[in-house]
Amino acid sequence: LSLFCGQQPPPSLSPLCFAGFQKAEAPRPPGAKDLHEYPWDRSSLKSMPVDLEQFKKLDAYALKVNVKNSVEELVKALLKQARTDLEKVRAIWMWICHHIEYDVVGYHNKSQLSSKPRDVLQMGKSICEGYAELFEHMCSLAGIQCKKLSGHAKGYGYKTGQTFTGDSDHAWNAVYLEGRWHLLDSTWGSGSVDDSFTKFTYRYNEFYFLTHPALFINNHFPDNSNWQLLKPTLTLKEFENNILHNSNFYMLGLLAAHPETPIIQTVNGKASVSVDCRAGTLFMFKLNGTDKHGLMTLKKHGMNLDIYPQKTGRHKLEIFAKPSKAEAPDDVYKCVLEYVVECESVDKAMRFPRELHQPVGPSWFSERQGFLRPSQSQPVLHTNDGRCCLTFTLSKDISVLTSLHTDGSSLAEDMGRRHVLQTHRGNQIELKVHLPHAGNFVLKIYSKKKTDTGNYDFIFNYLIRCLNTEVKWPAFPQSYSKWLQDYEILEPLSGLLPANRNVQFKLKMHGVAKVLVQAENLNPLTLNKGCWEGTCNTSGCRKVFVMVHENANHSFYSQVLKYEVETQ
């Protein structure tokens, strides 16, 4: 959470006395050359080119400066390593962000609080007013034009879609560098407070240093609109109506979100959100704290989310993101957007099975795990006859595990696996799915390296929908370990054979000497153009096994498939 500072202190605390110090010339008001285009052109997060690598040495020096006896001595010490105006501002910024903590106690008792720079330095804590005044005073001593700005902010306590009335509630600064004004907020650069507003945590935030004005306006609205540094400027109404993108949104390389307003009305029970970003970002969402009642799909440059609330009324929707290649230990999912979804009617048909995992459908993530060229690129598969077929090209040497799930007790875990049939042809994999009944099902796909002995990793899933209540497919036959992944069942596909019938068998298998079908009698199959073929009669038996003789010199057979026979 970012920080609010509450109402401005009484005027008696505001004027600063610069007696005896040479201060910078009076700040000039912003003019045409200070203005940036709105909306953001997606170019840079900063309002001027900044090379953070080149600041490393200066930053480290500024953090170590330990002068508390006077502001003048502190500025003198900081400027020892700073040559340009930009370096001077950077040293002052880094020192304040790492040495002044937010005064959560003072925030609740502002009448006792002084925002005078010397008092802020002595105490080592303040609210935003004190941060901004200390920053302005230190810049002035360093000969840099700086102005304290006040206005409304979407910080601590902000409620999605709220309006702003009354006095301003936050303070920040503008600094004049290289012929232009730039914006920064050292309060928000220093850290954050907890939900109960009782504890401050130092957590440096680079985003609020020389932030691009078209991004700064997202959560800072100055009393004087000239200090937006934008053309065109925004009205307070536009500021209120714009969705809040917090610093995580931009620091993670996200570019835009749709809709751009914080309150979304459902249409026929559905609300949709999309995010544009630079490549390779993972997303998750929470609707009232859970990831149910939604369908999220990853795109190469963002994500799409359809929400189907199952109750009318207002719902809190949070969107989280993280980089796909976690480089730092703190690369966890961070909240980047918050919406309020207002639902007038519920679409009961869009109740999803509990087992559905987000995101749904294939994506760049499943590609990265080795599943290329999916025949079904959509997250939801609709089938009228209860059957569907998917193919992928596998780019890696992986074993694949699949299972089918639905709510209720109609599909036990072992049976869930047997309603999906895998067939491998070279680097192609085909998945045939036969649904046991109508309803909503989840097809889960897992994989692991063939060389790995450990567990399979979940990769992605599809939602399969069938409305035809006549559908009732039996499971595929049960396969055993000797059934190799590139063997293929041509017939019979059903794991449940009719009683008292002659059944035709046709199986593609290589590297075996003999194949037998064991019913009441043993029935040998004959090899014909790469397929083992023959018939067997199901009279007088409950189970039928397919067995192979791997070596003509061996006398024992291995079971590879098991079929059930219908009871009469």
Q: Convert the pLDDT of each residue in 43-59 to its tens digit.
A: 899 999 999 999 999 99
- Within the chain, which residues score under 50 in pLDDT? 1-21
d(CA 239, CA 340): 17
The crossing angle, in degrees rounded to 10, of helices 128-141 and 85-99 is 150
If you compute the radius of gyration of the chain from its CA atoms, what whole number of angstroms results? Answer: 33
If one looks up domain 477-567 in CATH, what number appears?
A: 2.60.40
* DSSP-derived secondary structure letter, 270: B
Does the fold of domain 252-343 match that of domain 34-238?
A: no
Candidates 128, 139, 343, 388; catalytic one: 128
**Residue 470 phi/psi, 5° resolution?**
-80, -15
Is residue 335 flagged as an active site residue? no
| Sequence-distant (≥ 6) Cβ neighbours of residue 486 within 8 angstroms | 424, 425, 510
* Secondary structure letter of residue 451 according to DSSP: T
Which residues, in sequence order, are bridge partners of residue 299? 302
Q: For 169-196, what is each residue's pLDDT tens digit?
A: 999 999 999 999 999 999 999 999 998 8
185 is catalytic: yes
Q: Residue 519 in contact with residue 537, Cβ under 8 Å? A: yes
Annotated catalytic residue within 170, 220, 293, 315: 170
What percent of the residues of the chain are helix, what percent strand, and what percent coil, each to the nearest 5? 20, 35, 45
Q: What's the CA gap between 7 and 4, in Å, rounded? A: 9
Pick the CATH number of 351-474 from 3.40.50.300, 3.10.20.600, 2.60.40.10, 3.40.50.12780: 2.60.40.10
Q: What is the pTM of this model?
A: 0.88
Cα(507)–Cα(140) distance, rounded to whole angstroms? 86
- 30 contacts 50 by C-beta, under 8 angstroms: no
pLDDT at 245: 93
pLDDT value for 227: 98
Pairing of strands 230-231, 36-37: parallel
Residues 6+ away with beta carbon under 8 Å from 298: 282, 283, 359, 363, 364, 365
Q: What is the pLDDT of residue 531?
A: 96
The pLDDT value recorded for residue 3 is 46
Catalytic residue among 185, 220, 343, 466: 185
Our answer to whether residue 220 is catalytic in this structure is no
What's the confidence (pLDDT) of residue 23? 63
Sequence-distant (≥ 6) Cβ neighbours of residue 481 within 8 angstroms:
none
Going by CATH, does the domain composed of 34-238 fall within 3.40.50.850?
A: no
CATH code for 252-343?
2.60.40.10
Q: What is the largest CA-CA distance in the chain?
A: 111
Where exactly are the structural domains of the chain?
A: 34-238, 252-343, 351-474, 477-567
455 CB-contact burial (10 Å; exposed 0-12 / middle 13-18 / buried 19+): exposed
Determine contact, residues 21/72, Cβ cutoff 8 Å. yes
CA distance 442 to 360: 10
Q: What does each C-alpha distance from 259 to 310, 400, 463 come to in angstroms? A: 21, 38, 25
> What's the pLDDT score for residue 226?
97
Nearest to 423 by CA among 477, 369, 487, 473: 487
Measure the CA–CA gap between 524 and 526, rounded to whole angstroms.
Answer: 7
